[in-house]
A and B are shown apart, each in its own frame.
Chain A
């Protein structure tokens, strides 16, 4: 009997302890951001979508070979001086793993991952983009 009464008290105490914890947080400030009015800045190394500096690209296909999910296509034409000229850089955002493996082998640092994180679109075909168009002005 005494054991039971003791247990009632210890149980109620444990419940009160829990209430104290939640009460403590009730009056402490919130930790969340009010997105989209408040925005968070991604760190320097953040891996957003793949982006291209078109002027730097030498169409060497290293990124295409590095990609584990075949998400990149580099189109080029051979110029008169036998140099490759970039004519299209197709990026399949829908199959991209955001792993960053394409960035690492690039000899001219033409390909990188930018800070964009709002990548939702209304139609699936919008996910396939030509980066020479989309990143025309990226230096």
Chain B
């Protein structure tokens, strides 16, 4: 079941097209990575989902029905460009924003107290925002985003401004939100965290979706049937041992640590690779070369950008 669907959404700004027939489906209960180079249209799409701006064309569905103005209550949004009122105290501010999301005064107070305790920031309640460090402010913004327990959470570059310890805390909290049943859209350039967190991604470039699907499947399609292995043995040349159809991508012949990466033609298995090797070497390890999200990102975007050029 998809929690949120964007159907053929287009948005034209005066001098450029920000979104061109963008269709994505965010399954219930997953972490959905929204990726793309700068200026690809991610923020525009996120703003449309938050109903900050309206699309020129296309429709948005939440739980299978049209997205309504009142649905902002069930969305929590942490924008990339975020901040707080500098002259207001943390507590007042958190109360204000929580109530704007539809919580009652009492409820806001109760939940905020809980989160302040959990994040160990009780002492900040009466301090002005301008007295806090950037990282502290980010923490507060994060908890303000989740305090009304929305079923859809949208984080735009949530990790910027966090030190490694707090980044970890944040990741854990994002996963905890998923455990609780929230669906999360995560827009980030931090590919390592995509790798770690996302179940599903959509890659947008120049206003269009160019790649979309569950992470596992995408990785499967981007696998090239390449393997890395390390071995011990006499000074041998792999070229002499392996069939010529096998492509050696990398070869390290350091006597202490020999390893190589080989690409097998379609239809061949690791067994076919090992068979010729076993007679002359001792294999220490063998791993399939799985493309990282970083590779997939770069490869897809560059491919996409060179394709129209070659076809023209």
On whether the two chains bind one another, the answer is: no
